[in-house]
């Protein structure tokens, strides 16, 4: 290889890392803004069901439009069961996520969702019989303790808050199960071609939820620009954009670096929520965040040491 070719290779690698980090950062910012945006909308402007269905159907339309510009791929018969199961988990995540905002703090929800990587490890250990070391189990236990701090302390402040926090736990479990189920197909198909089917099946499964909506759509009965902009943002960025950029970002920078950016989400959520005065900051939130992150990092260290 010539020096010029070596230089081009290094430059290309640096460009790839830059783009990958930029995508990871942008996704974290979008997710960090997602919680405050949902809290402003629910329940004052829209019901939880309205927000969830708007996200699902809106993102489905956008992803199918995007699919018109990429080469079509044939899905193998054995992968349909994983795609349909992933769609079911996505429906559970999106719908219960919206329900949580009826009572829960957006800061609490963002912190609890950082526990999701530990749930992926736990699901893989239980259902896919992947071995976990003692340190990994210790990390899971520590992260669980952090999640319990949020749930119990938040519940003591407000009983309704406890219900919302429990919904956030269900969200984390659903999303962790989604990640486990979609892992295999994500290595075999392009992101757009894969996600268009996941979103389509999610939309089909969500059709019965249309009967739970009020007779008069809350937002349409009193349309104003602020809530319309917020629901548009939620559909376009935290839903459509983030689901599309996550796989290529992980390929460019690796899952370990990408996961580090996820710790920015509760930080962004906290800053925005406090500045907009839609939530207040409590002592247990930074404590639980540090405990959860400590557990996740310990588990990641154990996996890295095992591979080495």
- pLDDT tens digits for range 23-36: 999 999 999 999 99
Q: Token pair 């809290």 is at which residue? A: 39
C-alpha to C-alpha distance for 303 and 133, rounded to whole angstroms: 8
Checking if the pLDDT of 221 tops 70, the result is: no
Stretch 160-176: mean pLDDT, rounded? 90
C-alpha to C-alpha distance for 185 and 80, rounded to whole angstroms: 9
Closest CA to 10 of 2, 26, 22: 2
Joined tokens for residue 37:
């945006």
C-alpha to C-alpha distance for 27 and 189, rounded to whole angstroms: 21
What confidence tens digit (pLDDT) does each residue in 84-104 have? 999 999 999 999 999 999 988
Decide if 109 contacts 37 (C-beta within 8 A).
no
Decide if 104 contacts 167 (C-beta within 8 A).
yes
pTM: 0.89
The dihedral over CA atoms of 190, 86, 302, 263, expressed in degrees to the nearest 10, equals 80
Top mean pLDDT of 3-7, 15-19, 234-238, 257-261 is at 234-238
State the Rg of the chain over Cα: 20
Q: How confident is the model at residue 106 (pLDDT cuts 50, 70, 90)?
A: very high
């Amino acid at each position: 290889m010539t020096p010029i070719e070596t230089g081009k290779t290094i430059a290309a690698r640096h460009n790839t890392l830059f783009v990958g980090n930029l995508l990871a950062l942008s996704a974290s910012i979008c997710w960090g803004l997602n919680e405050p945006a949902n809290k402003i909308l629910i329940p004052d402007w829209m019901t939880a069901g309205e927000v969830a269905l708007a996200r699902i159907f809106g993102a489905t339309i956008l992803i199918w439009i995007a699919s018109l510009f990429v080469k079509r791929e044939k899905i193998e018969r054995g992968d349909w069961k994983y795609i349909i199961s992933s769609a079911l988990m996505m429906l559970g995540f999106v719908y219960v996520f919206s329900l949580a905002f009826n009572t829960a703090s957006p800061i609490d929800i963002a912190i609890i969702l950082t526990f999701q990587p530990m749930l992926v490890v736990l699901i893989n250990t239980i259902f896919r019989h992947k071995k976990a070391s003692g340190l990994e189990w210790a990390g899971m236990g520590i992260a669980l303790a952090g999640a319990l701090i949020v749930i119990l302390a938040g519940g003591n402040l407000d009983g309704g808050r406890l219900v919302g926090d429990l919904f956030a736990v269900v969200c984390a479990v659903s999303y962790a199960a989604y990640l486990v189920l979609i892992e295999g197909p994500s290595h075999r198909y392009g992101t757009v071609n894969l996600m268009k089917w996941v979103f389509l099946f999610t939309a089909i499964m969500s059709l019965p939820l249309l009967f739970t909506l009020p007779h008069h759509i809350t937002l349409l009965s009193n349309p104003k620009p602020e809530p319309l902009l917020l629901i548009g943002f939620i559909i376009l960025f935290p839903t459509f954009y983030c689901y599309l950029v996550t796989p290529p970002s992980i390929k460019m920078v690796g899952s370990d670096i990408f996961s580090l950016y996820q710790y920015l989400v509760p930080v962004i959520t906290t800053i925005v929520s406090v500045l907009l005065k839609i939530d207040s900051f409590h002592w247990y939130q930074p404590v639980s965040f540090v405990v959860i992150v400590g557990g996740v990092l310990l588990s990641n260290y154990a996996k890295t040491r095992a591979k080495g």
